[in-house]
Chains A and B, each alone.
Chain A
Amino acid sequence: MTLRATISTRLRATTPLGVAGAAAFVLLFGAVFLSGGYLVTVLEFAAIYCIFCIGLNFFMGYTGQASFGQNAFAAIGGYGTAIFCVNYGWEPVPAMLVTMVVSGVAALVIGYPTLRLRGHYLAMATFALGLITYDTSVQWTSLTQGYMGYSGIPPLGIGRFTVESERMKLVTLIVLVLFGLWISRRLRNSRFGRALRAIAASENGAAALGIRVRRYKLAAFVIAALYASASGSLFANIVGFISPEVFGLQMVVVTFTMLYLGGVGTVVGPAIGAVIVQLLPELVRGVGRFQETAYAAVLLLMLVFLPKGIFTLDRLRWPTKAEG
């Protein structure tokens, strides 16, 4: 298929709502970019969470497994980058790549025995992994500096070129998010991605077709860990400071909300969810001390009316019993 034909096919497959959504995001980022200020920082965090959620979507969305412990790999990424950059003077990019390798290996070692579990048992095992990592980051002070954390982490950059301004940080992060989405889309529609989705639908059905279920689940777990590690590294480089709280339970809850609010198992849903969950507190700030109540109420309404995520907005309807 030629490039022209491919673009034509894609455009025909895009719904009007999809075009409107894409336009809204472009306008949002354009407006924030031009106006600058605090909202740029909000969108930077949203972009970092986007990368985390795109990865988590491989394991929870495409493969249909549960993990409450991916924050562990974000912590490895964040602390790895901090230690390599601050203590050893490494450049941010090699530090990020090396910590991604470390996270990938850790995910392999942890995932191999853990992924024999299924359902709630797997969820609890991964939850324990997140708790262990948090406790380690607090207690192993000689490595992590405990609650003090690491400061003075250098900004992203290669050689003399560093990304210092907030606007350039946002642009860099958006490019990385788009790259992450491109990989996600390519893999989802590949032989590998079809196998993951078959596992999500029926592990026995997938195995009966010759799919090595355990191996694929492990691969999805490792991919999710790589994305999480990258997001942890990016957080360290963008903010310049990390501490255990960054990678604690709050991260698990927030990323779950983003994933399900946006549309678990869809390509762009997790990214949409990350942006909305980050922006929502700012949008409801006007209600004063009831801000958190309003935030929770809006989230609840979205989940009730769009149980499969905002990505399915075109199917908006009254919730039915069957959807549970």
Chain B
Amino acid sequence: MTGTSSVAPPLLEIVGLAARYGHIAALKPTSLRVEEGELVTVLGPNGAGKTTLLRAIARLIGAEGRVLLKGEDVTRLRPHQLAERGIIMVQEGRGLFGEMTVRENLLLGAYCLGRAGPAIAARLEQVFHLFPRLRERLDQVAASMSGGEQQMLAVGRALMAGPKLLMLDEPSLGLAPRVASEIIATLGELNRGGLGILLIEQKAPLALKLARRVYVLASGEVRAELAAEAIGSHHDLARYYLN
């Protein structure tokens, strides 16, 4: 645990989280935190361990180290239990169920709500408010939508669960710049509404505008932790990520 009893624990705190694929240490012992209502960005090149980091937090792969959610140790929980506690992940490539309709994907997002019809209907309305296009596409098969619409659906489906922490793995990947900006802007709107977000991006000037803090990951370990606005003063980082 960190801090004293008078200080609220971070929304998410990971301590010495490490993961391997066979003999390869994809993620060396890594620690980071996301405060309540904070948007934190993790930057890093291909193969830096960013996706492994998210998958290790969500327990989709075996990992060592500790994961704390609002001070509670959730390290030993299974993926579905983490989802029930409010840790929801939008996977790289969106992770949609392509042969299902938009409606079915959204309803699966609300799986943790059980059969609570009114609550699910209210969540659907919130998602349609953010992404009106999804309402028009409700009975369309997810795989038949454009990349941008699929990403909207992926984020919308994650929101259906009412997450406390939303983790996104490169949501702008493969999208046209304008669509990517729209998605990132929506994430900013959600964050201003109080949602904690852990956002992974490879090169994301837009994400840096929204983020309060940035972790730079390389070769499976955190190389830097800094305020988002400070990245411009680091010559190497600015050259790589802001240009």
Enumerate chain A interface residues (CB-CB to B < 8 A).
Answer: 191, 194-195, 197-198, 201-202, 204-213
Chain B min CB distance to A190 (Å): 10
A206 to B60 CA separation, bound complex (whole angstroms): 11
Q: Please list the 5 inter-chain residue pairs (A to B) with the smallest Cβ-Cβ separation, ordered nearest first.
A: A210-B83, A207-B79, A210-B112, A201-B97, A205-B95
Taking a contact as CB atoms closer than 8 A, the residue among B108, B112, B115 that contacts A198 in the complex is B108
Taking a contact as CB atoms closer than 8 A, the residue among A191, A194, A197, A207 that contacts B80 in the complex is A207
Enumerate chain B interface residues (CB-CB to A < 8 A).
Answer: 58, 60, 78-80, 83-84, 88-89, 91, 95, 97-100, 104, 107-109, 111-112, 115, 157, 161
- CB of A210 within 8 A of CB of B111, answer yes
Contacts of A206 in B (CB 8 A): 108
Contacts of A197 in B (CB 8 A): 97, 99-100, 104
Contacts of A213 in B (CB 8 A): 80
Taking a contact as CB atoms closer than 8 A, the residue among B95, B108, B161 that contacts A195 in the complex is B108
Contacts of B115 in A (CB 8 A): 191
Give the nearest-CB partner of A207 in chain B: B79
- CB of B104 within 8 A of CB of A209, answer no
**New A-B contacts (16) at CB < 8 Å, excluding given A208-B83, A213-B80:** A194-B107, A194-B108, A195-B111, A198-B97, A198-B100, A198-B108, A201-B98, A204-B91, A205-B95, A205-B97, A207-B78, A207-B79, A208-B79, A209-B108, A209-B112, A210-B112
Taking a contact as CB atoms closer than 8 A, the residue among B60, B98, B99, B109 that contacts A207 in the complex is B60
**Interface of chain B: mostly helix, strand, loop or mixed:** mixed
A34 to B138 CA separation, bound complex (whole angstroms): 46
A-B contact pairs, 23 of them (CB 8 A): A191-B115, A195-B108, A197-B99, A197-B100, A198-B97, A198-B100, A202-B97, A205-B91, A205-B95, A206-B108, A207-B60, A207-B79, A207-B80, A208-B58, A208-B79, A208-B88, A209-B112, A209-B157, A209-B161, A210-B80, A210-B83, A210-B112, A213-B80
- CB of A194 within 8 A of CB of B98, answer no
- CB of A201 within 8 A of CB of B60, answer no
A207 to B82 CA separation, bound complex (whole angstroms): 9
- CB of B91 within 8 A of CB of A210, answer no
Chain A min CB distance to B155 (Å): 14
A213 to B58 CA separation, bound complex (whole angstroms): 15
Contacts of B79 in A (CB 8 A): 204, 207-208
Give the nearest-CB partner of B55 in chain A: A204
Contacts of B91 in A (CB 8 A): 204-205, 208
Contacts of A211 in B (CB 8 A): 80, 108, 111
Tell whether A209 pairs with B111 under 8 Å between CB atoms, given A197-B97, A202-B97.
Answer: yes
Contacts of B157 in A (CB 8 A): 209
Tell whether A212 pairs with B80 under 8 Å between CB atoms, given A195-B111, A198-B108, A204-B60.
Answer: yes
Chain B min CB distance to A214 (Å): 9
Contacts of B80 in A (CB 8 A): 207, 209-213
Contacts of B109 in A (CB 8 A): 209
Kindly name the residue among B78, B84, B107, B111 whose own CB sees the greatest number of chain A CB atoms within 10 A.
Answer: B111
Give the nearest-CB partner of A201 in chain B: B97
A52 to B184 CA separation, bound complex (whole angstroms): 50
